[in-house]
Amino acid sequence: MDRIRIVGGKPLHGSIPISGAKNATLPLMIASLLTRDTLILDNVPRLADVLLLQRILSNHGVDITIKGKRPGDVEHSNQTMHISAADIVDTTAPYELVSKMRGSFWVLAPLVARMGRAKVSMPGGCAIGTRPVDLLIMAMERLGAKIEIDGGYVIANADNGLEGGEIEFPKVTVGGTHVALMGACLASGTSVIENAAREPEIVDVADCLIKMGARISGAGTSRIVVEGVAKLSGTRHSVLPDRIETGTYAMAVAMTGGDVLLEGARPELLQNALDVLSQAGAEISATNAGIRIARNDAGIRPVDVTTAPFPGFPTDLQAQLMALMTRARGTSRITETIFENRFMHVQELARLGAHIHLDGQNATIEGVDRLTGAPVMATDLRASVSLVIAALAAEGETMVNRVYHLDRGFERLEDKLSRCGATVERISG
Ligand code: UD1
C-alpha cells in the first residue's frame, strides 16, 4: 500500500494547476446514461473515483474511451472522455462496486428515467456518518417510481416512465438534487425541486444537461424547475475547476507561507473559504490566470467557522481548515453541521502535536507554536489531505499511510506540491 513521506518546514512557491472537479465529473459521467448519443467530457481529472465509476458504468454497457494525449499537451493534463451509453445491457448496479463509492448510487435516476427500472445496491463511500439515501429515494418516488428495498438493494420501477412531480427536500442534499434533476429531465411533465442544493457542481451538471436538450431553469438557486423532454442528445462539456482542490492548496500555502498561483481556479466557486483565509492572514488576489495566494511572516490568525451548504463554508474543506488552525496564534472554533462523525482527522492531527478539543459537532483548536512529524493514518479523503497540510508545517518527517483515500480525490498531489518546493514523495508498495 502506498505511503506519502513529507518533510515539513518549507514555504511553497510557484504555481499549481487546478484539476477538473471530482464532484462534477462523477454526476456528469452518470448523466451519460440519459442518452444514446456520445457525451464528450473535457477536463476530466485522473482519479481513482473516476476509474471506479468507469468500471461501474461499463457494467451497464457504457462504452468509455479516453482520448490520447495531443502534441503540446502538458504531461498528465486532464483527460477527454468519450462516453457512449447507446445500449444499456444491465440495469443492476452491484454491491461490490457501489459499496466502494457512494456517488455511484446516483445511477438509479438515469437508469429508471431511460429504462423504466433499476436495481442499485445501497451505497458505501467515506466513513463519515450514516449518510442515508432516504431523500434520494423520496425524490424518485415523487417522480412516480415504485421503490422496494430488498436484500440491500433499492429496486425502482416506472413501467410507463417517470412523471413530473414536486420534490421538496427537508434538508439540502447534493446527491438528492442530482438525482431529482437527472430523473426529472426525462419525466413527462414539469417537476419542481424545492430547497435544492446550490453547489457549483449542480450548476455544471445542469449546464451540461441543458446542452443535451434538457429544459431546466433555476439551477444554482433553491428552486429548480424542469420541463421533461422525450429524449436527450449528446454534447461536449468541460468540467469546471475543483473548488475543493483549490481550497486545499490555498490552505497549504496559508500554512507554510510562500506565494502560489492556483492556475485555472475561480474565486466565485469558493468565496466563503477565501474570505476565511483572508481573515486568517492570507493575501488573496484573483488574476486572469487563477487565484494567487500568499502569506508572509505575519502568522496565522484564528477563525470561527461553521460549515454549511453552498454558498457557506464547505464541509469538504473543514479538515483542511482545522489543520491550518493548529498553528494559529490563538483559539479557533469549527462547527460541523453537514455530517456527524466528520472529525476523524482530530486524533491523527493530535499525533503531530495539535491541541484540539471536541464537543459533539464543535471543535476548539488551541494553536501551537510547533508541530512535529509522526506516522499518521489517512481515514477518509478530506481527512487525509488535512494530514498532508499539517505535515507540510511540521518539523521532521511525517509518513501518511493508507494514501488510497488521497488518490480518490486529489490528482498527482505529491507532484503538484513538490514542484512548489515541498519535500513530498510517494513510497510505493
Ligand atoms: C456530496 C459530495 C461530498 C460533500 C457533500 C456535502 C459528491 C460526489 N459528494 O455528497 O463531497 O461532502 O455533498 O457537500 O458530490 N442526507 C440524508 N438523506 C439522504 C441524503 C443525504 O439525510 O438521502 C444527509 C446526509 O447524511 C448529510 C446531508 O444530507 O447530513 C448532506 O448530504 P449530501 O449533500 O447528500 O451529500 P452527498 O451528495 O452524499
Query: At residue 113, what is the residue type?
Result: A
Following DSSP, what letter does each residue of 258-304 receive, concatenated? EEEEEET--GGGSHHHHHHHHHTT-EEEEETTEEEEEE-TT-PPP-E
C-alpha dist (Å) from residue 224 to 114, 167, 351: 21, 10, 45
Q: With a cut of 60, say whether residue 362 has pLDDT above it.
A: yes
pLDDT above 90 as % of the chain: 85
Query: Which of 254, 375, 266, 390 lies closest to 319, judged by CA?
Result: 390
How confident is residue 128, by pLDDT bands cut at 50, 70 and 90? very low
Q: Are 219 and 209 in contact (CB under 8 A)?
A: no
The whole-number pLDDT of residue 72 equals 57
Name the 3-class secondary structure at 89. coil
**C-alpha cell at position 325:** 488552525
Paired strand residues for 258: 12, 295
**C-alpha cell at position 397:** 518527517
How confident is residue 340, by pLDDT bands cut at 50, 70 and 90? confident
Q: How far apart are CA 340 and CA 373, in angstroms?
A: 28
Query: pLDDT tens for residues 240-282?
Result: 999 999 999 999 999 999 999 999 999 999 999 999 999 999 9
C-alpha dist (Å) from residue 358 to 13, 316, 322, 344: 34, 18, 12, 11
> What spacing in Å lies between the alpha carbon of 132 and ligand 1's midpoint?
9
Q: Are 174 and 202 in contact (CB under 8 A)?
A: yes
Beta carbon of 241 within 6 Å of any ligand 1 atom: no
Q: Where are the domains of the chain?
A: 3-19+241-427, 22-238
Name the residue of 22, 101, 173 whose CB sits within 8 Å of the most ligand 1 atoms, as the mutation to test its pocket.
173
> Which of the residues are catalytic?
126
Provide mean pLDDT across the span 134-153: 95
Query: pLDDT tens for residues 104-121?
Result: 999 999 999 999 999 999
Orientation of helix 174-185 relative to helix 200-211, angle to 10°: 10
Q: How far apart are CA 338 and CA 322, in angstroms?
A: 16
Going by their DSSP bridges, the two strands 283-287 and 290-295 should be labelled as antiparallel
Beta carbon of 340 within 6 Å of any ligand 1 atom: no
Q: With a cut of 60, say whether residue 238 has pLDDT above it.
A: yes
Q: With a cut of 80, say whether residue 131 has pLDDT above it.
A: no
> What spacing in Å lies between the alpha carbon of 197 and ligand 1's midpoint?
10
Beta carbon of 23 within 6 Å of any ligand 1 atom: yes
Query: Which of 109, 120, 208 lies closest to 161, judged by CA?
Result: 109
Mean residue pLDDT of the chain comes to: 94
Lowest mean pLDDT among 13-17, 420-424, 425-429: 425-429
Provide mean pLDDT across the span 380-407: 92
Same fold, 3-19+241-427 and 22-238: yes
Chain-centre distance for alpha carbon 212: 23
Q: How far apart are CA 235 and CA 250, in angstroms?
A: 33
> What spacing in Å lies between the alpha carbon of 394 and ligand 1's midpoint?
32
Return the CATH number of the domain spanning residue range 3-19+241-427.
Answer: 3.65.10.10
Grid-cell match 442515508, residue found: 132
Residue nearest atom 29 in ligand 1 by C-alpha distance: 173
Provide mean pLDDT across the span 192-217: 98
Beta carbon of 176 within 6 Å of any ligand 1 atom: yes
Residue nearest atom 26 in ligand 1 by C-alpha distance: 131
Residue nearest atom 37 in ligand 1 by C-alpha distance: 175
> What spacing in Å lies between the alpha carbon of 310 and ligand 1's midpoint?
12
**C-alpha cell at position 103:** 456517488
Q: Residue ranges of the alpha helices (H) in 153-199?
A: 174-185
The whole-number pLDDT of residue 102 equals 87
The whole-number pLDDT of residue 1 equals 81
CB atoms within 10 A of CB 61: 15
Angle ∠(368,370,375) on CA atoms, nearest 5: 110
Paired strand residues for 357: 364
Name the 3-class secondary structure at 261. strand
Query: pLDDT tens for residues 158-192?
Result: 999 999 999 999 999 999 999 999 999 999 999 99
**C-alpha cell at position 109:** 435516476
> What spacing in Å lies between the alpha carbon of 315 and ligand 1's midpoint?
10
Q: Are 424 and 416 in contact (CB under 8 A)?
A: no
CB atoms within 10 A of CB 298: 11
> What spacing in Å lies between the alpha carbon of 368 and ligand 1's midpoint?
33
Q: With a cut of 90, say whether residue 152 has pLDDT above it.
A: no
Atom of ligand 1 nearest to the CA of 133: 23
Query: pLDDT tens for residues 64-85?
Result: 998 765 555 555 567 999 999 9
Atom of ligand 1 nearest to the CA of 244: 11
Query: pLDDT tens for residues 33-53?
Result: 999 999 999 999 999 999 999
DSSP character for 116? S
Residue nearest atom 7 in ligand 1 by C-alpha distance: 23
| Stated length of the chain | 429
pLDDT above 70 as % of the chain: 96
In this prediction the pTM is 0.96
Going by their DSSP bridges, the two strands 166-168 and 190-194 should be labelled as parallel
Residues 6 or more apart whose CB falls under 8 angstroms from that of 179 comprise 106, 108, 109, 136, 139, 140
| R_g over Cα of the chain | 21
Query: At residue 49, what is the residue type?
Result: D
The whole-number pLDDT of residue 383 equals 87
Paired strand residues for 181: none
Looking at domain 22-238, does it have CATH number 3.40.50.1820?
A: no
Q: With a cut of 90, say whether residue 402 has pLDDT above it.
A: no
